[in-house]
A and B are shown apart, each in its own frame.
Chain A
């Protein structure tokens, strides 16, 4: 439905987007995720028409958007600052795109009423934006962008100004709203948790390029590269060299830890001697005072270097031989128990050969 083909954008010497290509399906909740300066907002502005690409093509339903000004594109944006018109009431704000589309007054009134019901703020029609709370402004901004049924809704970090509790509630509302109306959402955020929670698919961006496009669960469990592994969730990244290749397992040598087996990554072919990194999620690591390793597990001894009590879980930083640090996570699920181990305790950790994921 939306196709971005080899799009580049430079600002002076700074390359904001470098030959970015991606394809977004109709009805999809698609997220552009990356740190600030990765090009995600630049790409959003190109789709909205606030900026022009230096090279490349953006197609909506097969037709090029290049020659169209922002008001001619069937694309609406929810801005980070909400951008509600302060001199207009809520109803006038929502009616704005309908007025611009030259809809009849009774039609406009009915549509405004309907969308206010949808965002559950029917009694706020005659209020001014500065009389609303952050969450209410957010909902009105979304209502205004959706009321004229755009082909595509762009959302530029719309929840970043809200506090954590409200943000989670708004995330659920966004998912439900998108499901209900079926309009394609393109969502920009730097918050990986938000991206995982909301999206059907995520494009992780870094330095103007796309690092990986996949479903949230695939991004989390099978990152394509170090950047994605590190950016999405907590991750141990262990530099290693491939020692020997096999049918199912590879043997790698991790600096300081010696040789161990890992499952092959079907996406990437490794040869003996290649540099690689083992990515290992903290929750995939078993941790106990004494462990007996299974056949397909590797086992190390170490001691607790640091610990972070987070309520539901405790994160332990374990120091192995030669100063290698590994992060492991244990649920505090026993009643009254806040921690299993203390700093300095001798512990053992183990992980399955298929728990880690090998990247370049």
Chain B
């Protein structure tokens, strides 16, 4: 009668392990070889910090990393402000199509967005550089912030705002003292998601970057074109670490937002 509960759980453990191995073995290899005391990614020779030392003496990489941080910070900030406004208006006007339009760029292929942004910048005779990259990143990050803010808003008791007004708050005071503090986790989560997406983006940045505005992913790509050196492993590991820290913080701040 009773089903043997050991069988499915053993199967699940095996299948689950396989999935996680599949996901993380390639990453583990990169991390491992970034500490390998050999020029070749072939066999384990010994532990070294050498590649990290070399990395921090490489002017191109440092420059690209600085670019990436500047771009990610500015575009995350801009996207957070605009995305919050978008989320608020989607919620206020209760129009499905508004939500679809702001979320559209999330679903669209990066290459399409990259090409169309490039065409637009050319059309307006804009010089490609940091500004064009930032504008591009803002455009694809807005949707994520809007989504985070909107889901936070729909979970909010609407009578809270009415209560604030009822108790003497002007519309602006009600927003500043009640709506905004309650939205804060959503806004922060959206902003951090935007930062993560911006710092990791390759395709769209590739189309919108100009001379001297290379970002870390672009720099890694140009290094890989010659050979996958241990230096590439080291810089990839660091990038991975930053992303991991951000994602972890994000899931701590607002598990709700990630779930939606």
Name A residues whose Cβ lies closer than 8 Å to a Cβ of B. 48-50, 69-71, 75-77, 79-81, 83, 85-87, 96-97, 100-101, 144-145, 148
Which residues on B sit within 8 Å (CB–CB) of A96? 164, 167-169, 177
- Which size bracket describes the interface of B in this complex? 10 to 19
- Give the complex CA separation of A83 and B164 in angstroms: 9
- Contact of B162 (CB < 8 Å), options: A83, A86, A87: A83
Which residues on A sit within 8 Å (CB–CB) of B160? 83, 85-86
- Contact of B165 (CB < 8 Å), options: A70, A85, A144: A70
**Taking the nearest CB of chain B, how far is it from the CB of A186, in angstroms?**
13
Q: A83-B157, A83-B159, A85-B160 are contacts. A76–B181 as well, Cβ < 8 Å?
A: no
- Contact of A71 (CB < 8 Å), options: B157, B166, B178, B181: B166
- Give the complex CA separation of A161 and B93 in angstroms: 30
**Chain B stretch 169-186: residues in CB contact (< 8 A) with chain A:** 169-170, 173, 177-178, 181-182
Q: A86-B182, A100-B168, A148-B168 are contacts. A70–B162 as well, Cβ < 8 Å?
A: yes
- Is A76 in contact with B182, judged by CB distance below 8 angstroms? no
- Is B182 in contact with A71, judged by CB distance below 8 angstroms? no
Which 9 A-B residue pairings sit nearest by Cβ, starting from the closest? A100-B168, A83-B163, A97-B167, A70-B165, A83-B159, A79-B159, A87-B181, A77-B166, A71-B168
- Give the complex CA separation of A87 and B168 in angstroms: 18
Q: Knowing that A71-B168, A96-B164 are A-B contacts, what are 15 other residue pairs whose CB atoms are under 8 Å apart, sorted by A's residue number?
A: A69-B165, A69-B170, A70-B165, A70-B166, A71-B166, A71-B169, A76-B166, A79-B159, A79-B163, A83-B160, A96-B169, A100-B167, A100-B173, A144-B167, A148-B168
- Give the complex CA separation of A102 and B162 in angstroms: 19
Q: A85-B178, A87-B182, A100-B173 are contacts. A145–B167 as well, Cβ < 8 Å?
A: yes
- Give the complex CA separation of A69 and B162 in angstroms: 11
30 A-B pairs with C-beta separation under 8 A: A48-B162, A49-B165, A49-B166, A50-B162, A50-B165, A50-B166, A69-B165, A71-B168, A71-B169, A71-B170, A75-B166, A76-B166, A76-B167, A77-B163, A77-B166, A79-B159, A79-B163, A80-B159, A81-B157, A85-B160, A85-B163, A86-B182, A96-B164, A96-B167, A96-B168, A96-B169, A96-B177, A97-B167, A100-B167, A148-B168
**Taking the nearest CB of chain B, how far is it from the CB of A51, in angstroms?**
10
- Is A48 in contact with B164, judged by CB distance below 8 angstroms? no
**Taking the nearest CB of chain A, how far is it from the CB of B105, in angstroms?**
32
**Taking the nearest CB of chain A, how far is it from the CB of B228, in angstroms?**
50
- Give the complex CA separation of A147 and B169 in angstroms: 15
**Taking the nearest CB of chain B, how far is it from the CB of A48, in angstroms?**
6
**Taking the nearest CB of chain B, how far is it from the CB of A58, in angstroms?**
15
- Give the complex CA separation of A333 and B238 in angstroms: 83
- Give the complex CA separation of A85 and B157 in angstroms: 10
Give the residue name and chain of the A residue nearest to B157 (CB).
A81
Which residues on A sit within 8 Å (CB–CB) of B164? 85, 96
**Taking the nearest CB of chain B, how far is it from the CB of A72, in angstroms?**
8
Most chain A beta-carbon contacts within 10 A, residue among B167, B177, B178: B167
Which residues on B sit within 8 Å (CB–CB) of A75? 166
**Taking the nearest CB of chain B, how far is it from the CB of A152, in angstroms?**
11
Q: A86-B182, A87-B181, A100-B173 are contacts. A79–B162 as well, Cβ < 8 Å?
A: yes
Which residues on B sit within 8 Å (CB–CB) of A97? 167-168
Give the residue name and chain of the A residue nearest to B184 (CB).
A87
Which residues on B sit within 8 Å (CB–CB) of A69? 165, 170
- Give the complex CA separation of A83 and B157 in angstroms: 7
- Give the complex CA separation of A75 and B160 in angstroms: 16
**Taking the nearest CB of chain A, how far is it from the CB of B185, in angstroms?**
10
Which residues on A sit within 8 Å (CB–CB) of B173? 100
- Give the complex CA separation of A48 and B159 in angstroms: 12
- Contact of B166 (CB < 8 Å), options: A48, A81, A87: A48
Which residues on A sit within 8 Å (CB–CB) of B167? 71, 76, 96-97, 100, 144-145, 148
- Is A71 in contact with B165, judged by CB distance below 8 angstroms? yes
Give the residue name and chain of the B residue nearest to A94 (CB).
B167
